[in-house]
Amino acid sequence: MTEDYLAQGIAAIKAGNKEEAHRLIDLAIHSAPDDERPWLWLSQISADDEERFHCIKEILRINPNNEKAKQKYDELIGLNYISPPPIPQMAVKAKNNNTIIGQGIKNKERGLSTIEWIVVGIIFGIAALVIVGMFLFKKINITKTSILNAPSISCQSVAMKYQSQILPLILKFGNETLLGQSTPHTSLTPIINTLIPLMEDAGAIIVPDCVQQSSQLILRGMDDIIDGFIYLFAEMNDHGNIAISQGMLNIMNGGDQLKALASGQLIPTPMSLP
């Protein structure tokens, strides 16, 4: 029964009937509340942030290792943060400027005392020391950066281990992605349902600190590709193709960085879409 409701709901999404899709996927959820798939689809079509947030929490309740849901959870949490409006400064600046100008005129009229000349000398002396210090720090930092760009021996060993664990999943994910690109959009559901567990397995691997950036790029790329196929299924072709292209690029960049770390080479500069 759940499969029927879910299939009909997905068909309604494709037909552009979100209201009917919402009703059918709700029925699928009531039929199998511990199946994460209907919750995932509902989160994709819901226009209400609170409902989407509830869906993501339910997915994480069912499967705490769902990296896609974790990312969406963080995104929705971020929507609750509202930056405070800037504090008006015009009146304060005008008042301060008038005070400074007035003091400058007075100083010009009466001249500087001996103590004031001493203070000015100390200020210029400190400024000179700061400039020299910044020059030396920059010089040291350039050398330091060159050393840090090369992975340490300990990082190289853990990167090799992580690479051996995640590489088979990347290859399977890549093969499934290629298959999905040649699959009619109406038949993408099995592809999506195959890609999601592969991403979850990749996200379940323990990530060493020195390969965090590489891992995040790879997982973000997998998430982008899954989103892209969901867009294609809903006939949102432009969004889908862009998301898949960006996802493949992220996986490539993450894989290149991981390969460099595992082989003790310098980390390459990430590539970007034209």
Residue with tokens 């690029």: 249
The verdict on residue 214 lying in a domain is: yes
The verdict on residue 223 lying in a domain is: yes
pTM, to two decimals? 0.51
Residues 6+ apart with CB under 8 A from 242: 228
Q: Looking at the chain, how many residues does it have? A: 274
The encoded tokens of residue 240 equal 């889908």
Residue with tokens 């290149």: 256
Which of 260 and 142 is assigned the larger pLDDT? 260
201 and 165 part of one domain: yes
The verdict on residue 113 lying in a domain is: yes
Q: Which of 261, 269, 266, 199 is nearest to 230 (CA)?
A: 199
Q: What is the pLDDT of residues 182-217, one digit of tens each?
A: 999 888 888 988 999 999 999 999 988 888 999 999
Residues 6+ apart with CB under 8 A from 268: 256, 257, 260
Cβ atoms 65, 204 nearer than 8 A: yes
Give the integer Cα–Cα distance in Å for 89 and 266.
Answer: 47
169 and 67 part of one domain: no
Q: What is the pLDDT of residues 149-187, one digit of tens each?
A: 445 568 888 889 999 999 999 999 999 999 999 999 888
Residue 66 belongs to domain spanning: 2-78
Total structural domains in the chain?
Answer: 3
29, containing H or E segment: helix 18-31
- The DSSP annotation for 76-109 comes to HHHTT--PPPPPP-HHHHHHHHHHHHHHHHHHHH
